[in-house]
């Protein structure tokens, strides 16, 4: 009898352990939904805790368990969670590609998207799976007004020629024209390339990447090579310091804020740091210049919350997602913390937003008014985005050119070869 009891207990324990770890789906209990977030210097734990509390306080039925991605690669972490049967009910700023096609993400209805400015952003197979909550311009160029003045530059460059002339003046004064980075994040080394491809290639062929997906164009085609060639030209003229490719993102930002380098091509989220950290010099911002000065502004709208289509608490998850993204106080907080441009109809940023944010926002509003917004190369996430795994290849190609390991033609051929493998 005693032995039977022991066996029974052992089996129960084994069954319960197995149930906890294998194919358990979402692991929330009761009315609680799980919410995958991430942390950066701009978005510390306090930001997320406050945001969640604001929403749950206003929606008494909601209870949220916060999960935090172990690094800024929240998409990679979300994949691990999906594979291990622990995909959260709600996740923010996770690249929806792959998750959406495989039916893991809820597709929002037009009614649910009615308050968003660009409800048609980032379609995947016709569905809209990520709330188009914010727009980010990637990259405007931030500049150190003091170093510009020291080099005798009186106005922000509006054409590619003016940018080269300003860089030459800065270099002649012993100032590094561009601050770049790389290291474990990779993307700060490709920001100038992203800007050049967006402005030069997408400016003329907005659906270029869709055409690349259809194999109608290639990275080795003259249009792409020409844009990449301009990047290589900056390197050849010594306007970038190749030793900076080892610097991670936070060190890159710190270097610019410390006055090392006159220009900083970075997404508009940098404005939040610039306004919060108040460096000893004024910071200006200008749109990435095109060859002839035609206004073309690369931007990405998306980055909002995605909901697990298979969540047992789907209704609660959708309710939380919309409440989180449409809450005015929360949107104001995201503007101040991360410099985002909320893409919510009728929204105006708080009057006490910082000057760098306001300057960038004005540039963006002008681009929207003039219908001059294009996709930001390597940041797109929908049907017209890079294939999975290709972002890192773009960063590598940029670094190969910066460090002199490959000429532009080889770097473009490398991208085509990697594209073929990524299919």
Partner 1 sequence: MRRKPILPRVWHFASFGAPGVVIYLCFVMAPILISFGYSLTNHNPFNPPSEFVGLENYKLLFQDEQFLTALRVTTILTVIVVVVPNLLGLGVAVLLDRKGWLYHALRSVFFTPVILSSVVVSIIWTKLLDDRGPVNDLLRAVGVEQPPGWLSDPDLALFSVASIVCWQMLGFCVVVYLAGLQGVPAELLEAAEIDGAGPVRRFRAVTWPLLAPSLTINTVVLLISAFKTYDYVKVVTNGGPGSGTTATIAFDVLATGLDANHVGYASAMAVVMLVIVATLTTIVLRFLRRREVDL
List 403, 407, 413, 416, residue binding partner 1 (CB under 8 A)? 403
Token pair 């809450």 is found at 327
State the Cα–Cα distance between residues 189 and 43, nearest whole angstrom. Answer: 22
Q: Which is nearer to partner 1, 31 or 388 (CB)?
A: 388
Site string for partner 1, 76-115 (x = CB under 8 A): x--xx-xx--------------xx-xx-------------
Q: Which stretch binds partner 1 (CB under 8 A): 32-40, 147-155, 184-192, 335-343?
A: 184-192
Residue 360, classed as helix, strand or coil, is helix
Q: Which is nearer to partner 1, 313 or 406 (CB)?
A: 406
By CB under 8 A, residue 213 contacts partner 1: no
DSSP secondary structure letter of residue 197: I
By CB under 8 A, residue 406 contacts partner 1: yes
By CB under 8 A, residue 247 contacts partner 1: yes
State the Cα–Cα distance between residues 119 and 109, nearest whole angstrom. Answer: 10
State the Cα–Cα distance between residues 152 and 142, nearest whole angstrom. Answer: 17
Least separation in angstroms between CB 31 and partner 1:
29
List 9, 11, 251, 409, residue binding partner 1 (CB under 8 A)? 251
Number of residues in contact with partner 1 under rule CB under 8 A = 47
Are residues 247 and 183 in contact, defined by beta-carbon separation less than 8 angstroms? Answer: yes
List 33, 81, 255, 296, residue binding partner 1 (CB under 8 A)? 255
In order, the DSSP letters of 198-222 are: IIIIITT-TTHHHHHHTTSS-TTSH
Residue 407, classed as helix, strand or coil, is coil
List 115, 168, 233, 248, residue binding partner 1 (CB under 8 A)? 248
* Joined tokens for residue 223: 């249009």
Least separation in angstroms between CB 423 and partner 1:
10
Q: Which is nearer to partner 1, 79 or 358 (CB)?
A: 79
- Give the residue from 84, 28, 41, 20 showing the smallest Cα distance to 272: 41
By CB under 8 A, residue 388 contacts partner 1: yes
State the Cα–Cα distance between residues 57 and 330, nearest whole angstrom. Answer: 13
- Give the residue from 310, 381, 309 showing the smallest Cα distance to 109: 309
* Joined tokens for residue 106: 């809820």
Q: Which stretch binds partner 1 (CB under 8 A): 165-173, 247-255, 331-339, 370-378?
A: 247-255
Interface positions with partner 1 (CB under 8 A): 76, 79-80, 82-83, 98-99, 101-102, 182-186, 189, 241-248, 251, 255, 260, 387-393, 395-397, 399-400, 402-403, 405-406, 414, 417-418, 421-422
């Amino acid at each position: 009898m005693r032995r039977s009891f022991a066996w029974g207990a052992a089996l129960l324990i084994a069954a319960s352990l197995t149930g906890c770890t294998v194919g358990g789906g979402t692991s929330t209990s009761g009315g609680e939904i799980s919410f995958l977030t991430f942390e950066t210097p701009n978005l510390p734990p306090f930001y997320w805790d406050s945001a969640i509390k604001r929403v749950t306080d206003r929606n008494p039925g909601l209870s949220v368990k916060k999960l935090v991605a172990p690094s800024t690669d929240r998409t990679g972490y979300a994949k691990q969670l999906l594979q291990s049967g622990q995909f959260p009910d709600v996740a923010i700023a996770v690249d929806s590609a792959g998750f959406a096609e495989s039916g893991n993400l809820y597709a929002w209805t037009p009614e649910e998207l009615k308050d968003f400015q660009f409800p048609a952003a980032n379609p995947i197979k016709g569905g809209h799976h990520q709330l188009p909550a914010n727009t980010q311009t990637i990259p405007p160029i931030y500049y150190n007004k003091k170093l510009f003045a020291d080099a005798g530059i009186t106005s922000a460059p509006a054409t590619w020629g003016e940018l080269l002339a300003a860089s030459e003046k800065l270099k002649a004064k012993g100032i590094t024209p561009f601050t770049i980075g790389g290291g474990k994040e990779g993307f700060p080394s490709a920001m100038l390339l992203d800007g050049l491809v967006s402005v030069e290639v997408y400016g003329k062929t907005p659906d270029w990447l869709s055409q690349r997906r259809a194999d109608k164009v290639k990275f080795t085609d003259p249009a792409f090579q020409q844009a990449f060639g301009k990047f290589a030209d900056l390197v050849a003229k010594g306007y970038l310091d190749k030793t900076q490719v080892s610097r991670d993102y936070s060190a890159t930002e710190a270097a610019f804020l410390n006055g090392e380098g006159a220009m900083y091509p970075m997404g508009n989220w940098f404005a939040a740091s610039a306004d919060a950290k108040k460096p000893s010099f004024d910071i200006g911002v200008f749109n990435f210049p095109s060859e002839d000065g035609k206004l073309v502004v690369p931007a990405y709208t998306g980055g909002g919350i995605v909901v697990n289509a298979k969540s047992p608490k789907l209704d609660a998850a959708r309710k939380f997602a919309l409440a989180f993204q449409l809450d005015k106080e929360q949107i104001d907080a995201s503007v101040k913390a991360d410099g985002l441009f909320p893409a919510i109809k009728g929204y105006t940023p708080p009057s006490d937003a910082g000057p760098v944010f306001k300057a960038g926002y004005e540039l963006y509003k002008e681009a929207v008014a003039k219908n001059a917004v294009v996709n930001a190369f390597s940041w797109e996430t929908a049907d017209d985005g890079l294939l999975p795994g290709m972002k890192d290849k773009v960063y590598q190609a940029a670094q190969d050119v910066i460090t002199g390991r490959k000429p532009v033609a080889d770097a473009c051929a490398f991208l085509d070869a990697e594209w073929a493998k990524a299919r």
